Amino acid sequence: MNKFLSFTVTLFSITFLFSQEVEIKKWNFYSEKKPKFQPVKIPHTWNTIDAFDDEPGYWRGKGTYTTQLNITKIKKVHYIHFNGVNQQTKVWINDSYAGQHKGGYTAFDIDISLYVKKGTNKITVEVDNTNNETIPPLEADFTFYGGIYRSVYLCEEETTHFKKSNGADAIKIDALLDNDWQGEVQLKGAISNMDKQLLKHKVRLNIKDATNKLIATIEENIGAEFNLNVKLKNPLLWSPQTPNLYNVELNLLDVNGKIIDIYHQKIGFRKFEATTSGFNLNGKPIKLIGVNRHQDFEGLGNAVPIQKQIQDLVMIKNMGSNFLRLAHYPQDKAVYKAADSLGLILWSEIPVVNNVPINANYSEYKENCIQMQKEHIDQNYNHPSLIFIGYMNEIFLRMYFNNPEDEIKQKIIKNTIDLAQTLEDLTRKEAPNHITVMAIHGNQIYNETKIANLPMVLGWNLYQGWYSGQIQDLGIFLDEENKKYPNRPLIISEYGVDADKRLHNSDPKKMDFSEEYQFKYHPGYYQQLKNRSYVIGMTAWNFADFGSELRGNPIPHVNQKGLVNFDRTPKNIYYWYKAILKPEEKLSQFFKDLPTHISDSPKKKIIIISNQKVFLKVNDSEKIELQENTGLIETWINLKEGSNNLSLYDEFGKLQDSTNLIYQKPDLTKSNILSINFGTENYFIDDTNQIWIPYNQQSLLKVLDTVQNVNSSSNIKNTTNDPIYQSSISNVEKITAELPRGDYEVTLLFSLLKKDKSLVYELNNKKEDANTVLSNQNIKINGKLIKIEKLNPFDKTDCTITIKVEKDLIIETANETEKITISGIKIKRLF
In degrees and rounded to multiples of 5, residue 427 shows phi and psi of -65, -40
How many Å apart are CA 204 and CA 253, to the nearest integer?
Answer: 8
Contact 203, 250 (CB under 8 A): yes
> What burial letters (b/e) apply to 87-110, b meaning 16+ CB within 10 Å?
bbbbbbbeeeebbebbbbbbbbbb
Identity of the residue, 87 or 89, whose beta carbon is nearer to ligand GCB in the bound complex: 87
Contact set for ligand GCB, span 558-577 (CB under 6 A): 559, 561
Identity of the residue, 444 or 802, whose beta carbon is nearer to ligand GCB in the bound complex: 444
Contact 124, 91 (CB under 8 A): yes
Determine the residue type at 94.
Answer: N
Identity of the residue, 128 or 545, whose beta carbon is nearer to ligand GCB in the bound complex: 545
Contact 225, 329 (CB under 8 A): no
How many Å apart are CA 381 and CA 378, to the nearest integer?
Answer: 6
Q: What character string, x for contact with ligand GCB (CB under 6 A) and - otherwise, covers 514-543?
A: ---------------------------x--
Identity of the residue, 601 or 758, whose beta carbon is nearer to ligand GCB in the bound complex: 758
In degrees and rounded to multiples of 5, residue 599 shows phi and psi of -165, 160
Closest contact distance (angstroms) between CB of 498 and ligand GCB is 7
C-alpha distances in angstroms, 519 versus 288, 554, 595, 781? 21, 18, 18, 41
In degrees and rounded to multiples of 5, residue 186 shows phi and psi of -110, 120
Q: Mapped to the 3 state alphabet, what secondary structure does 549-576 carry?
A: CCCCCCCCCEECCCCECCCCCECHHHHH
> Does the protein bind ligand GCB through residue 756 (CB under 6 A)?
no
Contact set for ligand GCB, span 136-195 (CB under 6 A): 140-141
Identity of the residue, 550 or 791, whose beta carbon is nearer to ligand GCB in the bound complex: 550
Contact 458, 416 (CB under 8 A): no
Identity of the residue, 621 or 758, whose beta carbon is nearer to ligand GCB in the bound complex: 758
C-alpha distances in angstroms, 53 versus 50, 339, 549, 684? 5, 34, 9, 22
Identity of the residue, 183 or 562, whose beta carbon is nearer to ligand GCB in the bound complex: 562
Contact set for ligand GCB, span 38-97 (CB under 6 A): none
Q: How far is CA 204 from the centre of its chain?
A: 41
DSSP label at residue 365: H
Contact set for ligand GCB, span 353-372 (CB under 6 A): none
Closest contact distance (angstroms) between CB of 352 and ligand GCB is 12
Closest contact distance (angstroms) between CB of 497 and ligand GCB is 9
Nearest-10 crossing angle of helices 473-484, 515-529: 30
Contact 344, 324 (CB under 8 A): yes
Q: What character string, x for contact with ligand GCB (CB under 6 A) and - otherwise, covers 392-411?
A: -xx-----------------
Choose which of 761, 779, 791, 823 interacts with ligand GCB (CB under 6 A): 761
Identity of the residue, 140 or 203, whose beta carbon is nearer to ligand GCB in the bound complex: 140
Q: How many residues of this chain bind ligand GCB (CB under 6 A)?
A: 11
Contact set for ligand GCB, span 440-499 (CB under 6 A): 441, 461, 494
Identity of the residue, 373 or 393, whose beta carbon is nearer to ligand GCB in the bound complex: 393
Q: Mapped to the 3 state alphabet, what secondary structure does 13-43 carry?
A: EEECCCCCEEECCEEEEEECCCCCCEEEECC
Closest contact distance (angstroms) between CB of 461 and ligand GCB is 4
How many Å apart are CA 721 and CA 710, to the nearest integer?
Answer: 17
Identity of the residue, 141 or 261, whose beta carbon is nearer to ligand GCB in the bound complex: 141
Using alpha carbons, select from 695, 711, 290 the residue that is nearest to residue 529: 290
Closest contact distance (angstroms) between CB of 518 and ligand GCB is 12
Identity of the residue, 455 or 824, whose beta carbon is nearer to ligand GCB in the bound complex: 455
Identity of the residue, 278 or 554, whose beta carbon is nearer to ligand GCB in the bound complex: 554
Closest contact distance (angstroms) between CB of 759 and ligand GCB is 8
Closest contact distance (angstroms) between CB of 442 and ligand GCB is 9
How many Å apart are CA 269 and CA 185, to the nearest integer?
Answer: 9
Contact 597, 578 (CB under 8 A): no
Using alpha carbons, select from 379, 391, 369 the residue that is nearest to residue 439: 391
**Strand 152-157 vs strand 691-694: parallel, antiparallel, or unpaired?**
unpaired
Nearest-10 crossing angle of helices 362-380, 333-342: 40
Residue 87 host element (H or E): none
Determine the residue type at 824.
Answer: G
Closest contact distance (angstroms) between CB of 141 and ligand GCB is 4
For the chain, what is the radius of gyration of the CA atoms?
30
Q: What character string, x for contact with ligand GCB (CB under 6 A) and - otherwise, covers 491-510?
A: ---x----------------
Identity of the residue, 337 or 441, whose beta carbon is nearer to ligand GCB in the bound complex: 441
Closest contact distance (angstroms) between CB of 551 and ligand GCB is 8
Identity of the residue, 140 or 770, whose beta carbon is nearer to ligand GCB in the bound complex: 140
| Residues at the interface with ligand GCB (CB under 6 A) | 140-141, 393-394, 441, 461, 494, 541, 559, 561, 761
